[in-house]
Each structure stands twice: as C-alpha cells, then as structure tokens.
Chains A and B, each alone.
Chain A
C-alpha cells in the first residue's frame, strides 16, 4: 500500500513539473475573428491556427516574428520561440487582430 502511494506521488510531481511538454494550442478563425482573441503560451509551444472561413487569411506578427499563410479550410503552425506579448493581424483583413502572451 505505502510503496504504491509513494509511486503515485512521484508520478504526479513529475507530470506537474514546470518542464511540462510543449503543447499545441489551437486558435480558430471564423467569420473574420481569431478565437480566442488572446492566447497564453509557453516557449516551445506550437500555435495552430485553423481557418474555418472561405477566404484566405494570414497570422502576421506586428514585430515580424512570424507570418503564417492560412488558406481557406486549412491550418498553419508557428512554434513560439521567445517570451513576451506579440500582437498579430491578418494582412488581407487588417480588422482581424489577436494576441499571444508567452511565458517561460
């Protein structure tokens, strides 16, 4: 009983450690809106934009750190490389904007 309990505790601690594996975070584009508008991420995570609209979009960083083309019905990815907040927009429809806030 006691050894099993200890193994479980160890497993939980490892899983919850800050060195958690990188995640893929989804952002949907629908009717000219990025959802969620603001996404929290960590360095190493991959952002996946999924374009559900029937027109092409881009996810373009204001600081030029990424420029991802998103054809209608397709998706595109970018792996986060540095901490800080990045505002991005669609080059074709600049009324579409979003933000990624990156922690360590």
Chain B
C-alpha cells in the first residue's frame, strides 16, 4: 500500500515535472520561425541534389515541386518575420535538424541511379512525416503571433500534400 502510494506519487510528480518542462521549453516565435525556415531549406537542398543526380521523370518532377513550394513558403516566412520585426533565432531543435539534414545529404550524395531514387523517395516520406508531426504537435500550438500561426497552418497543409505525393513516389520506386 505505502509502496504503491509512493510509486503513484512519484509518477504524478514526474508527470507534473514533464508538463512544466514542456511549458518551459515551449519555443518562442523567433525560434519557431528559425525551425520552420531551416526545415524548408533542408528539403530545398535535398531537392536540388535530386535534380542533379536523378534521371527519373517522376523523381525530378517531385524534386522540382519541393524546391518550388518550399522556396515559396520560406519567402512568405521571410516577408512575415520582416513585417513583424522578428529575427529568427537559432536553437537546439533547428541545429539538430540541420545536423541530421547534412548527414542525410551526405548519405544520398554517395548513391546513384535507382538506389538514389529509392532512398530519396523514402527519405522524403520520413522527413515530411517528422516535420509535419512537429508542426502539428509543437510549432503551430506554440506560435503566439496569429499571422505566423496561420502561415504555419497553410504550410502544414502544403507539406501534408508533399507527404502524400512522396508516398506515391516511394511506392512507384519499389
């Protein structure tokens, strides 16, 4: 009984601390802007790599779409932060994204032909899933400026479209 109570107390305490930490760690608008922009840049670079390496029309069409859409979203984001007088601020999340992005870029760079196409498509599915998940659960709910929240919301719908398109592409590459 006492043991169970102690365990329960510990669990509640842990949960409470967890929530408190999550709130303390809630990213600020300048951090959110930096994370979203960085995520876009990574996918633009991956798309450019695909356009350099792939001869497959479906892969090239998809890569062109990634470069075009993510550039459009990032241009909107830049215009918005300028208007709001917000300076995007580097943070551990955007740094982790960038490090991971560089690693994936290096791995993809070593592949050619069908192996590249397949890896790029699989990577794009996983990447969009991760970023969309982060947008949905953390970035959008944490954004305090309504225009930023709105742009991230539109971005999420665009990127969910990319996720579906990437899934079709990955299925074709199998």
Contacts and interface: CB of A to CB of B under 8 A. Distances in A.
B76 interface: yes
Interface residues of B, number: 16
Contact of A94 (B153, B154, B157, B168): B168
Nearest to B163: A95
Interface residues of A, number: 14
B86 to A, nearest CB: 19
A94 B72 contact: no
Contact of B72 (A55, A90, A91, A95): A55
Nearest to B157: A32
Contact of A95 (B65, B68, B160): B160
Nearest to B161: A93
A31 interface: yes
A93 B165 contact: yes
A93 B68 contact: no
Contacts of B164: 93-95
B73 interface: yes
B76 A54 contact: yes
Contacts of B162: 93
A56 interface: yes
A56 B73 CA distance: 12
Nearest to B76: A54
A93 B16 CA distance: 40
B157 A95 contact: yes
Given A93-B165, A94-B165, A54 B160 contact: no
18 contacts: A31-B153, A31-B154, A54-B72, A54-B73, A54-B76, A55-B73, A90-B161, A92-B69, A92-B161, A92-B165, A93-B157, A93-B160, A93-B164, A94-B161, A94-B164, A95-B157, A95-B160, A95-B161
Interface of B: 65, 68-69, 72-73, 76, 153-154, 157-158, 160-162, 164-165, 168
Interface of A: 31-32, 53-56, 72, 90-96
Counting from the closest, the 5 A-B pairs by CB-CB distance are A93-B161, A32-B157, A94-B164, A95-B161, A55-B69
